[in-house]
Every structure is written in C-alpha cells, then in structure tokens.
C-alpha cells in the first residue's frame, strides 16, 4: 500500500482524510504547513507516494509548495485541493506543477478515486521503468524526443521534465495529430473532467508545452491554435 502525505492546516479535514485513507489501507502522515512538508519531502528526503496538498495554508501556500517541489526535481504525484469557484486556483495549480485537483469541499469518494488513479499511474510508470522493456514509449519529431516513460522531453541540449498532466496532454495531441482537438475534448478525454472547468487551464498548459517544443513559442510550428476550435499537433510542419 502507499504512503501519503496530507498537507493541510485544518486539523479536522486532515484527520478525516487520514481516517478514510487509512481505511483504504494507506499509511498517512500529516503536515500542518508548507514549510514542514517541504522539509520532509526535500531536505529530509522522506519517501511518500503521493501528496494531498491544500492551497490555503499558513505561510507558504500550496502553489509555492508544488512549484518548489518541481524546481527541486521532485515529481511526486500532487493532488491539489483548491477553493470552489476559483478557476484561477485551478490554473495556478496546474502551472505550479500539480497533477490533479479537487475543489473544496470535496466528495470523499471522488477524492479517494482520484488518489487511486494517480497512484495506479505512478506504480505503472515504476513497473515500466524497472522492467525496461525493449519497446520504448517514445515519440520523435523534428529533432525532438518525448519519452513518455521517463516523462521527459528532449529538445537538443535541453531536457524538460514533464508532469503527468503535461505528458498526458501531449500524448493525446500527438495521437490525434492531423485534426484539431477541442478544449472540451481535452478536459474530458485527457483529464477526465466532466464538470464545467474553465478551459483557460488548457491554454496555460499549451503555453508551457510550447516553451519546451517550439523554437519561437509565439510563432508555434507544432502546437497550433485552431481558431474557434482548440489545438492541433503537427509533427513535421511544411517548409515554406
């Protein structure tokens, strides 16, 4: 079973979560603030399989905690708890490197399902990495390589570490290259979101992917905006 760190200052929420996650068979630790969580995850190198990270924390907020983790190349799955009705929280959450989010107050069954989903993908990734199958899960285009196993994108000398969300979005766009993909489709098919999420979250993801892929992000050659529709991936753009 998995070891989960809950970063939440509201003790009744943290304790309730712990109770329910322990009932699912997980081991659970609680951090009451961001500084403590970063100390445990980065400086003390404690091993966890997943972090449930509240945004509203005393001192460092959840966004800062997530981005510090990613800056230090810690890519532990992060499920962020955002405030309901604040799409900007969702945007900032994804930008700071969260893998998934849930608005508060959350439904416990949904939270546990999301956590199981992230953990399944993590263990799947580990199995793939440890067994080193001869068939690499890579996609090459225009002198770039996306390694979906290592969650890395290599572009010349630069190696970018992708979050699970970035990797999933890129994989979906690549699989559907040749046609435009709508924002709604991305929300449903890539992120499994049926709810009415602000689709600008996707635009921000595209901006980030363009920074990794495009030589001139403001004049994209691979991740094209299709006006009124969404986005389309082009592996080998036509030379003019």
Binding site for Ca ion (CB under 5 A): 9-10, 54, 56
Q: What would the two tokens of residue 204 be?
A: 């921000």
Q: What are phi and psi of 200, to 5 degrees?
A: -65, -20
Distance of closest approach, residue 181 Cβ to Ca ion, in angstroms = 35
Q: Are strands 223-226 and 158-161 parallel, antiparallel or unpaired?
A: unpaired
Distance of closest approach, residue 62 Cβ to Ca ion, in angstroms = 8
Task: Give whichever of 10 and 137 is closer to Ca ion, judged by the CB atom.
Answer: 10
Q: Are strands 3-7 and 144-147 parallel, antiparallel or unpaired?
A: unpaired
Task: Give whichever of 64 and 149 is closer to Ca ion, judged by the CB atom.
Answer: 64
Q: Are strands 138-141 and 144-147 parallel, antiparallel or unpaired?
A: antiparallel
Torsion of CA 223, 226, 227, 230, to 10 degrees: -80
Distance in angstroms (rounded) separating the CA atoms of residues 164 and 151 = 7
Distance of closest approach, residue 79 Cβ to Ca ion, in angstroms = 14
Q: Compute CA distances 110 → 16, 29, 161, whole Å.
A: 15, 20, 28
Distance of closest approach, residue 58 Cβ to Ca ion, in angstroms = 8
C-beta atoms surrounding 80 within 10 Å: 27
Task: Give whichever of 54 and 168 is closer to Ca ion, judged by the CB atom.
Answer: 54
Distance of closest approach, residue 16 Cβ to Ca ion, in angstroms = 13
Task: Give whichever of 31 and 167 is closer to Ca ion, judged by the CB atom.
Answer: 31
Distance in angstroms (rounded) separating the CA atoms of residues 199 and 25 = 35
* H helix and E strand count, the chain: 8, 12
Distance of closest approach, residue 101 Cβ to Ca ion, in angstroms = 14
Task: Give whichever of 100 and 168 is closer to Ca ion, judged by the CB atom.
Answer: 100
Task: Give whichever of 33 and 197 is closer to Ca ion, judged by the CB atom.
Answer: 33
Task: Give whichever of 12 and 194 is closer to Ca ion, judged by the CB atom.
Answer: 12
- Report the side by side order of strands in the sheet with 181-182: 181-182, 230-233, 223-226
How long a stretch of residues is the chain? 240
Distance of closest approach, residue 156 Cβ to Ca ion, in angstroms = 42
């Amino acid at each position: 079973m998995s070891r989960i760190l809950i970063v939440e200052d509201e003790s009744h929420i943290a304790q309730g979560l712990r109770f329910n996650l322990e009932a699912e068979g997980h081991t659970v630790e609680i951090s009451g603030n961001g500084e403590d969580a970063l100390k445990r995850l980065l400086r003390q190198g404690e091993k966890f399989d997943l972090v449930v990270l509240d945004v509203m924390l005393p001192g460092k907020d959840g966004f800062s905690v997530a981005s510090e983790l990613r800056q230090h190349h810690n890519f532990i799955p992060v499920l962020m708890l955002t405030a309901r009705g604040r799409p900007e929280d969702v945007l900032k959450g994804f930008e700071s490197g969260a893998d998934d989010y849930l608005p508060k107050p959350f439904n416990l069954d949904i939270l546990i399902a999301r956590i199981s989903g992230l953990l399944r993908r993590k263990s799947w990734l580990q199995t793939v990495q440890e067994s080193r199958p001869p068939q690499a899960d890579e996609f090459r285009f225009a002198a770039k390589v996306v390694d979906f196993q290592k969650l890395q994108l290599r572009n010349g000398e630069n190696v970018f570490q992708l979050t699970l969300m970035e990797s999933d979005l890129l994989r979906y766009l690549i699989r559907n290259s040749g046609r435009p993909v709508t924002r709604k489709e991305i929300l449903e098919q890539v992120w499994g979101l049926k709810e009415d999420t602000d689709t600008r979250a996707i635009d921000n993801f595209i901006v980030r992917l363009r920074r990794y892929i495009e030589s001139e992000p403001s004049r994209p050659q691979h991740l094209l905006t299709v006006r009124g529709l969404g986005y389309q991936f082009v592996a080998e753009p036509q030379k003019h």
